[in-house]
Amino acid sequence: MDDLDHDSAGSPPLVKQLSVFVANRLGALLTVTRCLDAYGLEVRAISIIEAADHAVFRLLVDRPGLDKETLQSEGYSVFESDILGVALPSTTSDGIRRVLSALLLAELNVHYVYSLVLPTTNTPVLAVHVEDIEAAAQILGEKGLELIGQEELA
């Protein structure tokens, strides 16, 4: 594989994000996680956006296809999207700055970020949603940053 760690089709490694839309009510997040737990599915990272009457839970999960189907079967509205997972270097303390600086130099808008830790290696990862995922993957690879794929969340 080349420096960008693309798959054989030339696509960068991606992570599937599930966005779950729920009523903004006490215990809603717990109910979603209990639903996943009941099927042996695991949340690897979460970000919550709250509004007056609803919330959006952005989830990175171990098995997105099964997680999406499970949540939909329980009546949840679920949207799936691709994001980048960028492993943060453990040898320096400037990993987040390196990621954001590279994206700024490429003039790519960052819509949102949140963090997680890979379960098998304890590697810190920045989950990044950008306007142009291919261009972002290219520039991050050129800057020597490692992209992780969905299989590393399992």
Would you say residue 90 has pLDDT above 80?
Answer: no
Tell me the pLDDT band of 9, cut-offs 50, 70 and 90. Answer: low
Would you say residue 131 has pLDDT above 70?
Answer: yes
Average pLDDT, integer, range 74-90: 95
Q: Which stretch of DSSP H or E encloses residue 143?
A: none
Looking at residue 96, what DSSP letter applies? H
Would you say residue 8 has pLDDT above 90?
Answer: no
Phi, psi of 64 (to 5 degrees): -60, -40
5 Rama class: left (phi>0) / alpha (psi -120 to 50) / beta: left
Q: Which domains does the chain have, with CATH numbers?
A: 16-81 (3.30.2130.10), 82-153 (3.30.2130.10)
Mean pLDDT of the chain: 92
133 token code pair: 């995922």
The pTM (predicted TM-score) of the whole model is: 0.89
Looking at residue 64, what DSSP letter applies? H
Average pLDDT, integer, range 107-118: 96
Average pLDDT, integer, range 8-24: 90
As a whole number of angstroms, the distance between CA 44 and CA 97 comes to 23
